[in-house]
Amino acid sequence: MIKDSVLNKKIIPVWLPIPSFQPYCYILPDEMKTSPGSLVRVPLGSRELIGLVSDDVVPVFSSSIKLRVVSKVFNFPPINQELLEFVRFVSSYTLAPLGLVARMVLKISISFEEDMNEEGLLYSGLIPEHITSARSRVIELLMRTPRVWPRSQLLREAGVSSRVLERLKAQGVLKSINLAYQSVISAATASVDKPVLLEKAQRQAANLLQAAVLEKRFSVSLLDGVTGSGKTEVYFEAIAETLQKDLQVLILVPEISLTPQLLDRFASRFGHAPSEWHSDVPRLQRNRIWSQVAQGGIRVVAGARSALFLPFQKLGLIIVDEEHDSAYKQEDKIFYNARDMAVARGSIANIPVILASATPSLESYVNVKRGRYRYIHLSSRFSNAAMPHLKAIDLRVNRPSSGHFLSPILLRAMRDVLEGGKQSLLFLNRRGYAPLTLCRFCGHRFSCPNCSTWLVEHRSSSSLQCHHCNYHKIIPEICPECGLSEHLVACGPGIERIAEEVKEEFSHARILVLSTDTVRSVKQIRFKLESIKQGHVDIVIGTQLIAKGHHFPDITLVGVIDADIGLSNGDMRAAERTFQLLSQVTGRAGRTHSESIALIQTYQPDHPVMQALIANDRTAFLTREIEEREANQFPPFGRFAALIVSSRMRSKAESYARILRSAAPEAPGITVLGPAEAPLALIRGRYRFRLLIQGSPHIHIQSFIRCLLKKASAPCGLVHLQVDIDPQSFL
């Protein structure tokens, strides 16, 4: 790689997608031109990376210093100043290295420019002169999924040679399309003027959101509507207003399972689906989406939290659907909450942000009370559909039969629904068959060798699995401790076990099990959700994958198998999350005019969460939660940050955690708790210790942590340190 003297050379700062807090400096050849936001290819060690030219101040170098030279400036519009500022903000707020934040923007491969020029192929509808098995595979694939296919992807999935495609092109069966110009939604195709039937309350809410768009400035609106109230259709009107102004829109969803329904409803309203952005999108498609977003060709993106870092050229509106969902918090490498960062990006870009939920987070609710957010409420369901009647089943009284988990009351209700030709949904937020397998003779429990957790039994794959590190083993026939075989038992239920019990009780029912174990792609999710809507399923059994955002018109019974699961983890948000989750899942019932019921099995019917849920009294629940949080100075009435130390050697993790504690400066309004071994003390072979920093609401907790880290020695290579500002998990 070329190095050159800096004498009389132009030097540019470049953010590289590596864990660095500072930009790297490179010499820019005279024939190349850049500006802040330009994409460049630069050498680093023995490899080349795509970097982002920043507007950082370049240090003064001695004339004897030699720097490496920029390899290439991409012929591509520069990333705008707003996104550069957003990258800096995220790094400053989360205390994550600037380079790692920049890497979330640079979600493209080194070959992205070449990918832009790849040929796309579209089926013309013609039949070839001569049908061969290879040609048949191509046509069947294109008819099954009618869209423009990248040439390389079509070759791979159809399993044919380039010659086959060339012959089909020559006969007019395939049309050649330039992928660089394939927009998912454009001004020409978006039907923003399509008449929409909204009820009075929806129209009033839509008018308020459209007014926020017309204000052309930063604002946050909390769209709070009961399940089935039509929140999506309401915020679609704000999208239509934004598109009319030739601006771009970002819709964030917490999980990819929610994207199929959103895409379908969006296409129904606007005549075209938005572009998807999530982990299931192939690399070539990601490169094209990234490129077209940056050039303004794609107008609307619906995606997971990482879509927040796409290089929008003319972003005009951000929507965070299901804003309360904990899945918006990333807890890997960079710890950030996409909901909060969406508000920050809206502020930097001076555009409106809409937060939508049937169960808003306490933080958003308090921000409304403080006057920071506009509040828009939809108190009733669309078309006056009735909310389900909620009833708690006290498992201390109405016990399931031995070895079973469905109470007689729930079984009777399921039988009535089945005989009436309607559908039931059973909810249990626990994957697999059983959370624990043990030996009744010697007490041996099967646990993960890499994590301080039990192995979950999955009978569908005849395996014991760790849900933290993916370790798995075949279910043994004998106990490894005592050598006996007849005493191994599965303890507790997972959804596989519930499905087994349901099949025993209702042998002729059509049963569908939905979890991340049974659906592994958006395509599979779409297919199974559609089968429910079409009435091809009698009983749905699912985890939280099925709990929110979905519309199933024929589900008239929801049964919650174990409502107490989330209440016992000691988390300050345990009650709030349980209330939200149960409100969401029971809201899947009665979405049309059919009478519906939700039965909640619990050993704690007198718990405040259950009482508020059954009484449909969210205000009482929130009031109680606010009083408790405020009394303890818990968020949003105080600040939390966590320092998580890990190492493959327990002694080193504990030692460095103590070094951090001793380096903590005395500061008014701040308390440092710990270090203590984490509740999940071992994950993926690394021992973990935590420090919790608690501060009053107006403390700049990041400044305190910077001071602490500056005073402490840097961790050695065997020790990792993670900083989690505003932690959602305390495990």
Q: For residue 99, count other CB atoms closer than 10 A to its CB.
A: 24
Query: What pLDDT score does 680 carry?
Result: 93
Neighbouring residues of 649: CB distance < 8 A, sequence distance ≥ 6: 687, 718
Query: What pLDDT score does 112 carry?
Result: 60
Q: Give tens-digit pLDDT for 49-62.
A: 999 999 887 877 76
In this predicted structure, the answer to whether residue 485 has a pLDDT above a threshold of 80 is yes
Last residue of a domain, one of 325, 358, 383: 383
Query: What pLDDT score does 187 carry?
Result: 37
Q: Residue 117 — very low, low, confident or very high, per pLDDT cuts 50/70/90? A: low
224 lies in the same domain as 294:
yes
**Is residue 697 assigned to a domain?**
yes
How many angstroms separate the CA atoms of 535 and 537, rounded?
Answer: 5
Query: What does pLDDT average to over the chain?
Result: 88
Q: Which of 513-517, 634-638, 642-646 has the lowest mean pLDDT?
A: 513-517
User: Which residue did the predictor score with more confidence, 352 or 156?
Assistant: 352
Virtual torsion, Cα 256, 257, 262, 265, nearest 10 deg: 150
501 lies in the same domain as 549:
yes
User: Which residue did the predictor score with more confidence, 278 or 502?
Assistant: 502
Q: What is the CATH classification number for the domain harbouring 669?
A: 3.30.70.600
In this predicted structure, the answer to whether residue 681 has a pLDDT above a threshold of 80 is yes
Query: What pLDDT score does 6 carry?
Result: 60
426 lies in the same domain as 575:
yes
**Is residue 215 assigned to a domain?**
yes
Percent of the chain past pLDDT 90, that is, above it, reads 60
Q: Give tens-digit pLDDT for 428-444.
A: 999 999 999 999 999 99
What are the tokens at 678? 């984490």
Neighbouring residues of 262: CB distance < 8 A, sequence distance ≥ 6: 232, 251, 253, 274, 302, 321, 549
Q: Residue 146, class by beta-carbon neighbours within 10 Å (0-12 exposed, 13-18 middle, 19+ buried)?
A: exposed
Collapse the DSSP code of 214 into the 3-class scheme (helix H, G, I; strand E, B; otherwise coil) and give the result. helix
Residue 714 identity (one-letter amino acid):
A
Say what angle helices 162-170 and 151-158 make with each other, to 10 degrees.
110
501 lies in the same domain as 600:
yes
Collapse the DSSP code of 225 into the 3-class scheme (helix H, G, I; strand E, B; otherwise coil) and give the result. strand
Q: For residue 122, count other CB atoms closer than 10 A to its CB.
A: 15
DSSP state of 431: -
In this predicted structure, the answer to whether residue 731 has a pLDDT above a threshold of 90 is no
- The phi, psi pair for 58, rounded to 5°, reads -80, 130
Query: What pLDDT score does 241 carry?
Result: 94
Sheet holding 719-725, edge to edge: 670-683, 686-695, 639-647, 719-725
pLDDT, mean of residues 132-149: 80
**Is residue 351 assigned to a domain?**
yes
pLDDT, mean of residues 479-484: 91
Q: How far is CA 105 from the centre of its chain?
A: 17
How many angstroms separate the CA atoms of 382 and 652, rounded?
Answer: 58
> Do 238 and 198 touch, CB atoms closer than 8 A?
no
Q: Give tens-digit pLDDT for 498-517.
A: 999 999 999 999 999 998 88
R_g of the chain, CA atoms, integer Å: 28
In this predicted structure, the answer to whether residue 147 has a pLDDT above a threshold of 70 is no
How far CA 309 is from CA of 66, 112, 134, 418, 491, in Å, comes to: 34, 17, 41, 47, 43
In this predicted structure, the answer to whether residue 549 has a pLDDT above a threshold of 70 is no
Q: How far is CA 116 from the centre of its chain?
A: 27
Q: Residue 95 — very low, low, confident or very high, per pLDDT cuts 50/70/90? A: very high
What are the tokens at 272? 């075209």
In this predicted structure, the answer to whether residue 418 has a pLDDT above a threshold of 90 is yes
Q: Residue 111 — very low, low, confident or very high, per pLDDT cuts 50/70/90? A: low
326 lies in the same domain as 225:
yes
User: Which residue did the predictor score with more confidence, 706 or 4?
Assistant: 706
pLDDT, mean of residues 554-571: 87
Query: What pLDDT score does 159 carry?
Result: 87
Query: What pLDDT score does 155 carry?
Result: 86
Q: What is the CATH classification number for the domain harbouring 147?
A: 1.10.10
Q: How many domains does the chain have?
A: 5
Q: What is the DSSP string of 465-532?
A: E-TTT--EEEPPSS-TTT--STTEEEES--HHHHHHHHHHH-TTS-EEEESTTT--SHHHHHHHHHHH
What are the tokens at 412? 């009777």
Neighbouring residues of 223: CB distance < 8 A, sequence distance ≥ 6: 205, 209, 231, 234, 235, 354, 355, 356, 357, 376, 378
Q: Give tens-digit pLDDT for 319-334.
A: 999 999 999 999 888 9
Query: What pLDDT score does 362 carry?
Result: 95
217 lies in the same domain as 280:
yes
510 lies in the same domain as 611:
yes
Q: What is the DSSP string of 560-572?
A: ES-TTGGGGS--T
- Alpha-helical regions (H) of 26-161: 81-94, 98-105, 112-116, 133-144, 151-158
Query: What pLDDT score does 160 carry?
Result: 87
81 lies in the same domain as 122:
no
Q: Give tens-digit pLDDT for 156-192.
A: 888 888 888 888 888 888 888 766 544 444 433 445 5
**Is residue 281 assigned to a domain?**
yes
Which of 479-493, 538-552, 571-585, 649-663 shows the highest mean pLDDT? 649-663
How far CA 688 is from CA of 150, 467, 470, 664, 712, in Å, comes to: 45, 17, 18, 19, 18
Query: What pLDDT score does 189 carry?
Result: 45
How many angstroms separate the CA atoms of 598 and 589, rounded?
Answer: 7
Structural domain including 683 reads 639-725
> Do 581 and 539 touch, CB atoms closer than 8 A?
no
**Is residue 485 assigned to a domain?**
no
Query: What pLDDT score does 184 carry?
Result: 42
Query: What pLDDT score does 186 carry?
Result: 41
45 lies in the same domain as 86:
yes
How many angstroms separate the CA atoms of 504 and 539, rounded?
Answer: 13
Query: What pLDDT score does 651 carry?
Result: 95
Q: Give tens-digit pLDDT for 586-595.
A: 888 766 657 8
Last residue of a domain, one of 79, 106, 133: 106
Residue 387 identity (one-letter amino acid):
M
Q: What is the CATH classification number for the domain harbouring 348?
A: 3.40.50.300
How many angstroms separate the CA atoms of 507 and 520, rounded?
Answer: 27
**Is residue 340 assigned to a domain?**
yes
**Is residue 55 assigned to a domain?**
yes
In this predicted structure, the answer to whether residue 367 has a pLDDT above a threshold of 90 is yes
204 lies in the same domain as 173:
no
Q: Give tens-digit pLDDT for 526-540.
A: 888 888 888 899 999
390 lies in the same domain as 511:
yes
Query: What pLDDT score does 676 carry?
Result: 96
Q: Residue 451 — very low, low, confident or very high, per pLDDT cuts 50/70/90? A: very high
What are the tokens at 139? 């046509």
Query: What pLDDT score does 58 carry?
Result: 80
Last residue of a domain, one of 81, 106, 131: 106
207 lies in the same domain as 351:
yes
Query: What pLDDT score does 60 carry?
Result: 74
Q: Residue 525, class by beta-carbon neighbours within 10 Å (0-12 exposed, 13-18 middle, 19+ buried)?
A: buried
DSSP state of 73: E
Q: Residue 717 — very low, low, confident or very high, per pLDDT cuts 50/70/90? A: confident
Q: Which of 502-506, 665-669, 676-680 has the lowest mean pLDDT?
A: 665-669
**Is residue 145 assigned to a domain?**
yes
